[in-house]
Amino acid sequence: MKEEEIQNKSLEWNLQRTLSKINYHIHTSAISQNLVPKTLSKEQINHVYASEADLLNVALFGMTAKEWREANPDLKDILYA
């Protein structure tokens, strides 16, 4: 039973990661098409993407990605494994 529970959690985790990847591509595509003027430098474009990502993170989770990483330093190895 424990192995089955672990497998189910693993499947759920993979599903969530897949949905996140799909949403990320939709999000970045929308930014590219609607918010990034052609006259911006690469650095400015990166700032636009980062600002939009922070806006979504604050709206959904109440903090930026940087704030979350600082509050959860022990989870870094788990998330980026």
Write the secondary structure of 2-41 as one string of H (helix), E (strand) and C (coil): HHHHHHHHHHHHHHHHHHHHHHHHHHHHHHHHHCCCCCCC
> Within 10 A of 27 (CB to CB), how many other CB atoms are there?
14
- Tens digit of pLDDT for each residue in 10-25? 888 888 888 888 888 8
Give yes or no for a contact between 20 and 32, defined as CB atoms under 8 angstroms apart: no
SS3 1: coil
Question: pLDDT tens per residue, the chain (81 residues)?
Answer: 778 777 777 888 888 888 888 888 898 899 889 989 889 999 999 999 999 989 988 998 899 989 988 998 887 666 554
Q: State pTM to two decimals.
A: 0.61
